[in-house]
Amino acid sequence: MEFLDPFEDDVVVVCIAEQTRAAGAAVSAVAGNSGGALVSSAAGSGIGRMPNVDRAFEEAWKRLQDYYLGSNRRYSEKTFARRFRMSQSTFDTIYNAVSSRGEFQRKPNALGELGLFPVQRMVAALRMLAYGTAADAVDEYLRISESSALLSLQLFCNAVCEEFGEEYARQPNADDLTRILAINERRGFPGCLGSIDCQRRRWERCPVAFAGQFTRKEKKPTVVLEAICDRELWIWHAFFGCPGSLNDLNVLNMSSTMASVLEGKHPPRFSFVVDGTTYNTPYYFADGIYPSWAMFIKTLRKSSSPEAKRFSAAQEAVRKDIERAFGVLVARFHILKAPCLLRDRTTMASVMRACIIMHNMVVESRRDDYESGHYNASASFEFGISTNLAAFHAWANTVEKRLNEFTSRTGHSALRQSLIRHIWSRFGAGNG
């Protein structure tokens, strides 16, 4: 007589197989006696891998050509821009840069069958970014699986950041600064470089171990985005990834904004005149939580005089640029509106940066439609932008000087009083 150890893996498999065959035989016998009312096969998973779904990639590609990309496309340019959140020319610019990358090339699988077209991957990523839909929702239209859609989203965002980040996620150059300063001077604020503020994005799948430091008054884990924009809503600075428990001032102390100030990279030194007084420190508009530094101009908490009230109204109107930029960014890419389902902050940052880059590309494509008349193109400014990297050996000696210059509370009060008088003398009690 032979005894088998019931705890060995091979024995367990044999016993389960014998029990399955016996159960199948019993079911077959019952089904035969009942006229075939029961299925005669054994229950459970079958042997081997699940077969691949024939997704007919060529059919999806032909549909895209017929609807949007072909010469005789069915939908108009306006419909294309509404659904893809950008014009056809901007789409083509991104596609030409992204499709040439190796990870987007059409490759054969193990059976020698060609896979997804580059345009399928790009459109799937754009639909997920624009509408905030689940990865599985684009399968029926684009014939792309959930896992491939998620991978395409990550690859697309990384590609956009690498291909266009140098141009559309940079600091403003001399031409940009000339345009920004001229526009803000026409609005009554010479020397203004834009508006700064923070926004929080909910992190649905924040690890439990990190939930405490990412949770604030919202009672849900969030991640902070700090941004600076101009009147045209071009986002010139974006710092993303700080825990949501930090307030705007804490984020400022950690962001690259102050690092650029201390290193002398940005903002540059230049002179401007306000109410007959010459200043050398450019400034940003900010809300009340930011410190009373020379580089930040805030509204007055208590505006009693007509001059102060007029200044507060003008400052708040211009500061709304950053609020509008956040609103347009989220409205354009709904993936930023819904709670983030990603688990990795690096991937979250890649998605956020890609959305900001494409947002700036759209702003640039539309600039020609409304740029005329907003500023004097012949205006000129002398900028002291340091480009000599060898000069950074003396960086430590200039840190304290630059820090005192840009964080001066006396300079903040003097500049704000000059702006109050300047706004009143230029616009008075009117609505100009």
* Higher pLDDT among residues 187 and 376, named by residue: 187
* pLDDT over 60 at 39, yes or no: no
Tell me: pLDDT of 75 over 70: yes
- If you average pLDDT over residues 395-414, what whole number do you get? 83
| Least confident span in 49-53, 123-127, 331-335, 361-365 | 49-53
Which residues have C-beta within 8 Å of that of residue 55, sequence separation ≥ 6?
Answer: 139, 143, 144, 145
Q: Residue 78's pLDDT band (boundaries 50, 70, 90)?
A: very high
Q: How confident is the model at residue 372 (pLDDT cuts 50, 70, 90)?
A: very low
- C-alpha 74/C-alpha 87 separation (Å) is 16
Host H or E run for residue 44:
none
pLDDT band at 387 (very low <50, low <70, confident <90, very high): very low
The pLDDT mean for the chain works out to 82
206 or 428, which is more confident?
A: 206
Percent of the chain whose pLDDT exceeds 90: 54
The helix (H) or strand (E) run that includes residue 300 is none
Backbone angles phi, psi at 302, to 5 degrees: -125, 105
Assign 326 a pLDDT band (cuts: 50, 70, 90): very high
Q: Which residue did the predictor score with more confidence, 317 or 59?
A: 317
Judge whether residue 392 has pLDDT over 50: no
Report the 10 Å Cβ neighbour count for 230. 24
Q: Is residue 251's pLDDT more than 80?
A: yes
Q: Name the most confidently modeled range: 76-80, 113-117, 373-377.
A: 76-80
13 has pLDDT over 50: no
Percentage with pLDDT > 70 across the chain = 81
- Judge residue 207's burial from the number of C-beta atoms within 10 Å of its C-beta, 0-12 exposed, 13-18 middle, 19 or more buried: exposed
Q: 328 vs 6, which has greater pLDDT?
A: 328
**pTM for the structure as a whole:** 0.81
How many H helices and E strands in the chain? 14, 7
375, 182 contact by CB (below 8 A): yes
* CA 367 – CA 369 distance, rounded (Å): 5
Give 374's pLDDT tier (boundaries 50, 70, 90): low
Cβ neighbours of residue 409 closer than 8 Å, sequence gap 6 or more: 292, 293, 294
Whether 40 has a pLDDT exceeding 70, the answer reads no
Q: Which of 12-26, 143-157, 323-337 is modeled with the greatest confidence?
A: 323-337
Q: What is the pLDDT of residues 256-285, one digit of tens each?
A: 888 888 777 788 878 899 999 999 889 999
Which segments within 39-113 are labelled E, that is strand? none
CB of 136 closer than 8 Å to CB of 146: yes
- Which residue, 427, 195, 228, is CA-closest to 318? 195
Kindly state the average pLDDT of the residues 290-311. Answer: 89
Sign of the Cα pseudo-torsion (160, 166, 168, 169, in order): positive
User: Would you state the pLDDT for residue 112?
Assistant: 78
Q: How sure is the predictor about 351, in pLDDT bands with cuts at 50, 70 and 90?
A: very high
Give the lowest-confidence range in 263-272, 317-326, 410-419. 263-272
